C-alpha cells in the first residue's frame, strides 16, 4: 500500500438490463434508529470482514438520486493495514455486492463519489482539518 492509495470496493451495480462496475468506498445504509458509527461498523464488517477503528469525520456529501435526497458520511478508518488481505468469500455479503476490494489512487482511477478525486485526504487527516461538507 502506498501513501496515496485508499480502500475501495469494485461495486457491482445490477439492473434488469446490465451489470455496471464502479469503484467506491465500502458502506451502505442505516437501519431504522441505528447510530451512524454502529452502522458504519456493521457495514464494514459485512462487506470486508474487518472491524474498523473509526477516526474523525472527514466529509459529508449530500446528493439526489432517483428523486430522493441522500447524505453520505466519510470517516477516517485508522486500522487500514487490517484491510490489506480481504477474502470476500468469508464475509457475510461482500461477495454479493463487491467484485473486488483493493487500495487505489483516487487521482488515477474513476471513483464514486467524484469529489474524492480532488481532495487531499492525507493532508485533511494529518492537519486535523474540520469536516468538509459537499451539498447539492
Q: What is the Cα–Cα distance from 22 to 26, expressed in whole angstroms?
A: 12
In this predicted model, what pLDDT tens digit does every residue of 1-37 receive, in sequence order? 344 567 677 766 555 566 666 788 887 889 999 999 9
Is domain 6-134 in CATH 3.30.200.20, yes or no?
A: no
Q: Residue 119's closest CA among 130, 136, 107, 101?
A: 107
**What is residue 79's predicted lDDT score, i.e. its pLDDT?**
92
What is the percentage of the chain residues whose pLDDT exceeds 70? 87
The domain ranges of the chain are: 6-134
* Number of helical (H) and strand (E) elements in the chain, helices listed first: 3, 7
Among all chains, which residue has been given the C-alpha cell 480481504? Answer: 86
pTM of the model: 0.83
Strand 19-24 relative to strand 111-112, pairing: parallel
In this predicted model, what pLDDT tens digit does every residue of 67-118 receive, in sequence order? 999 899 999 999 988 988 888 888 888 777 777 888 888 778 878 888 888 8
Amino acid at each position: 500500500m502506498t501513501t496515496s492509495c485508499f480502500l475501495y470496493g469494485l461495486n457491482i451495480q445490477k439492473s434488469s438490463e446490465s451489470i455496471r462496475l464502479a469503484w467506491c468506498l465500502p458502506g451502505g445504509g442505516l437501519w431504522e434508529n441505528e447510530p451512524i458509527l454502529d452502522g458504519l461498523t456493521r457495514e464494514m464488517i459485512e462487506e470486508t470482514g474487518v472491524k474498523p477503528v473509526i477516526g474523525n469525520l472527514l466529509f459529508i456529501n449530500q446528493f439526489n438520486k432517483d428523486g430522493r435526497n441522500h447524505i453520505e458520511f466519510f470517516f477516517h478508518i485508522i486500522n487500514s493495514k487490517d484491510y490489506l488481505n480481504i477474502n470476500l468469500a468469508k464475509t457475510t455479503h461482500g461477495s454479493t455486492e463487491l467484485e473486488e476490494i483493493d487500495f487505489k489512487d483516487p487521482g488515477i482511477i474513476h471513483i464514486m463519489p467524484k469529489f474524492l478525486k480532488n481532495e487531499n485526504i492525507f493532508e485533511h487527516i494529518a492537519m486535523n482539518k474540520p469536516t468538509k461538507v459537499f451539498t447539492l
